[in-house]
Chains A and B, each alone.
Chain A
Amino acid sequence: MQPYLELDNLSVRLGSRLVLQNLRGTFSGRAIGLLGPNGAGKTTLLHTLLGFFEPSEGTARVFECDIRADLKRIRRQIGYMPESDAYIAGMTGIRFVRLMAELSGLPAAEAMERAHEVMFYVGLGEARYRKIGTYSQGMKQLVKLAQAIVHGPRLLFLDEPTNGLDPPARQRMIQLICDIRDAGDMRVILSSHLLRDVEECCEEVLILKAGRIAVYCNLEEERKANRKFLELETRGEAAGFLERASELGCEFAQNRGRKIKMVLPDHVEIRDLYLIAAEQQLQIRRLDYKRDSLQDIFLRAMESGHGGL
């Protein structure tokens, strides 16, 4: 896949504080989750790519346009949903989204048509003539999403899109983000401190720690890399089975029930386990690969020192 975002030794200083330090990398994932603890620089990175902050060193390129030189071209291709409440007071939802479409360059008639479509798409069709000030928190998040996609951007920045949402509203928002991602027209960068949101929506994660890139990985590939870590559920006496497995070099841990966690050495295959189990007259009722959760990846990144690509 063609990279659309390139960070070239990007550093950003705000006041006396170096918020982003020497970020490098090329990114091409359909949906990238931007993770990190508070103050890691997630929002600052998005704001720098939008041109709100000027890099103190280095640069970045979005769709091959340099953020130092081609800001207008970049902004034409980006939709941005900010983290905090952001709307124009006294406007109805439809009028607000229409204004945003017009400011992005859509002619008035097309802007009106798109605004209606997008309001229906995000689920605010019935509430589109109500003033935004009267919207609930969940509706305000949805109208922010509507204004971010109304002009048909190629890249969508979502900054904490599920902030303040109750579980059904959160699920609705996640579903919308997945729909947008799967439609294929738009790349998504989702900044969040909620690992579950990122896990559900993103294929790749970029973890920032203290303004540096700690990890950039493809979630699926990262999980595949841990295929030798198994969880088994058995019926019968497991002592003999575990003894034989131990002789083959397997490490294991058994909890009080019938569950066994096991790490296989390279030369041992799953088939070998079934053979031992048959030999020991033990039933293997369930066998799962214990995949790394995003939480594992995140915690590992936080424990390790500064990483890099």
Chain B
Amino acid sequence: MAVYKQNYKSYQGPLTPARWRFLILPRYSFRAVFDSRLFVMFFVICFIAPVGAALIIYFKHNINALRAVKVPLDRMAPINEWFFLGLFNIQNLFSFLLTALVGPGLISPDLANNALPLYLCRPFSRAEYVLGKLSVLVTLLSLITWIPGLALFGLQWSLEGNGWFSENLHIAGAIFLGSWIWILTISLLALALSAWVKWKPVAGALLFGVFFGAAAFGQAINNILYTQWGNLINLGMVMHTVSVWLFLGTSTNRSVPVWSAWLALAIACGFCVMLLARKIRACEVVR
């Protein structure tokens, strides 16, 4: 319709498939997220460790290049479970910081500005809304965790050969599974806190509080009761227990049993989903 013809006209054209409509939310969110220079800078920093790891793998397999930089081969770290576990832990730390940067701004502004009725009065469900918001974090965190992790694994495989691949296939599984568990846990936690407090800065602070405050509280329990069960409320420690088990097949010393760490993660995720189901509603009913 030409601008000068300012009459209302109904829409008769085709519609997009409903099942992929949740992906509209990340598309709009990414633009807002990448508008921030601070975020872009931080996002670039998140790739320093994978690039460093790629260089190590490359130098490890290129004696001439290693001689050129004057580093003896025996001083290079072996490329094994420990190497990938170290990288996994570094990237998890960055992914936590990235979540703290992006997560609080995903739901709380919608709740604060009463935008949920606008989303939910359309053929768009609460589950799709949460899925859309979750996919923002999942995509960003995947880009800095399991995707570079598996790319490095592939690089090592291509340089080392099929023998190394068949011996270390479990590392790829650990990178993929461990990253997904971590991504889902912190993403759900960030969204739940964002929905709960409705105020972006507080939601960010609360995310740090949940990790570091709970870790301190758990340590206090450990010290007072001479136990390790306090670690169960320390999400970082719980995830570390699970990831060590995934990469090395053993449990860490001075930690809780692996089964209880899995259970703690499942409970944390379940609690976040419950909180989201309670808070993501078009209208709040005051009873």
Q: Contact residues of A with B, CB < 8 Å?
A: 14-16, 47, 50, 52-53, 72-73, 75-76, 78, 80, 82, 84-90, 95, 99-100, 102-107, 110, 114, 116-117, 120-121, 125, 147, 149, 151-152, 154, 179-180, 183, 185-186
Closest 7 CB pairs of A and B: A152-B11, A105-B15, A15-B287, A152-B10, A80-B121, A89-B109, A52-B282
Q: Are B118 and A86 in contact (CB under 8 A)?
A: yes
Name which residue of chain A comes closest to B12, CB basis: A152
Partner among B3, B12, B121 whose Cβ is within 8 Å of the Cβ of A120: B3
CB distance from B38 to the nearest CB of A (A): 15
Q: Are B12 and A87 in contact (CB under 8 A)?
A: no
With A152-B9, A180-B8, A186-B10 given, is the CB distance from A50 to B123 under 8 Å?
Answer: no
Name which residue of chain A comes closest to B281, CB basis: A52
Indicate if B68 sits at the interface (CB-CB under 8 A). no
Q: Are B123 and A86 in contact (CB under 8 A)?
A: no
Q: Are A80 and B28 in contact (CB under 8 A)?
A: no
Q: Contact residues of B with A, CB < 8 Å?
A: 1, 3, 6-16, 18, 21, 24, 28, 32, 109-110, 112-115, 117-125, 281-283, 285-287
Given contacts A89-B110, A105-B123, could you give 17 more A-B pairs where the C-beta distance is less than 8 Å?
A: A50-B120, A72-B123, A75-B121, A85-B114, A86-B113, A86-B114, A90-B109, A95-B28, A102-B21, A106-B15, A120-B6, A121-B7, A149-B8, A151-B11, A180-B8, A183-B7, A186-B10
Set of chain B residues within 8 Å of A82, measured between Cβ atoms = 114, 117-118, 121
Name which residue of chain A comes closest to B2, CB basis: A117
With A85-B113, A86-B113, A100-B122 given, is the CB distance from A106 to B285 under 8 Å?
Answer: no
Name which residue of chain A comes closest to B286, CB basis: A15
Number of A-B contacts (CB under 8 A): 123
Partner among A87, A105, A107 whose Cβ is within 8 Å of the Cβ of B18: A105
With A78-B121, A82-B117, A103-B122 given, is the CB distance from A117 to B9 under 8 Å?
Answer: yes
In the complex, which of the residues B3, B9, B114, B122 has the most CB atoms of chain A within 10 Å of its own CB atom? B122
**What are 24 A-B pairs at a CB distance below 8 A?**
A15-B286, A15-B287, A47-B282, A52-B117, A52-B281, A52-B283, A72-B125, A75-B122, A75-B123, A76-B123, A84-B114, A86-B114, A88-B110, A89-B110, A89-B112, A103-B24, A104-B123, A105-B18, A106-B13, A107-B14, A120-B6, A121-B7, A179-B7, A185-B9
CB distance from A87 to the nearest CB of B (A): 5
CB distance from A145 to the nearest CB of B (A): 11
Q: Are B21 and A103 in contact (CB under 8 A)?
A: yes
